[in-house]
């Protein structure tokens, strides 16, 4: 995957903690640590957005829709 070089501003305390993780070999370097953190945060945001959208659904209405589709298809299914 292609990468891009960027410059960021980060609080000194956060950078200190990040450097401890790099020194402890939890991450190979700052870039990898920050890249992993951003990916994880983006995944959480996307998951939360999906959960929020799903929470808007009315379970009874969705079940009725599924049943309606199922009943119309049952007539076309072969008998065993």
- What does the DSSP 8-state code read for residue 76? T
**For each of the chain's 80 residues, which pLDDT tens digit applies?**
799 999 999 999 999 999 999 999 999 999 999 999 999 999 999 999 888 888 888 888 888 877 776 666 666 767 77
DSSP 5-63: -------HHHHHHHHHHHHTTSSSSHHHHHHHHHHHHHHHHHHHHHHHHHHTS-HHHHH
């Amino acid at each position: 995957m292609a990468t891009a070089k960027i410059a960021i501003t980060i609080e000194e305390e956060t950078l200190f903690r990040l450097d401890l993780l790099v020194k402890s070999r939890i991450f190979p370097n700052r870039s990898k640590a920050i890249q992993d953190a951003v990916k994880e945060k983006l995944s959480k945001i996307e998951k939360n957005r999906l959960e929020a959208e799903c929470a808007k659904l009315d379970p009874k209405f969705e079940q009725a829709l599924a049943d309606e589709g199922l009943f119309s298809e049952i007539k076309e299914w072969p008998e065993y």
